[in-house]
Amino acid sequence: MLITMPRICQITGKKTVTGNHVSHSNIKTRRKFYPNLQYKRFWLAEENRFVRLRVTPSGMKTIDKIGLVEAMKRAKSVGFID
């Protein structure tokens, strides 16, 4: 059984959006814009362990700015982390 993960940032909630390829002759074809997701380990000092998250660079900046615990708390309240 293959389980696929959605392409969504676990901190900011950024996900795949759709748009158009527009050629030189202005022909439009549907396409997808994927977020720049990275697997990153963060040290969670409160639990003395690493946490592995799938985040975008803006999610990493958010964690640097407000801290890992606060970022995870906000993401859990919105529903990005279960």
Cα-based distances in Å from 54 to 15, 67, 74: 12, 16, 16
- Residue 2 pLDDT > 70, yes or no? no
Which pLDDT value is given to residue 82?
78
User: CA-to-CA distance for 1 and 74, rounded, in angstroms?
Assistant: 32
Give tens-digit pLDDT for 46-69: 999 999 999 999 999 999 999 999
**What is the value of pTM for the model shown?**
0.83
Give tens-digit pLDDT for 13-33: 999 999 999 999 999 999 999
Question: Topology of 17-78 in CATH?
Answer: Ribosomal Protein L24e; Chain: T; (2.30.170)
Count of alpha carbons within 13 angstroms of residue 78, beta-carbon side: 13
Which pLDDT value is given to residue 3?
64
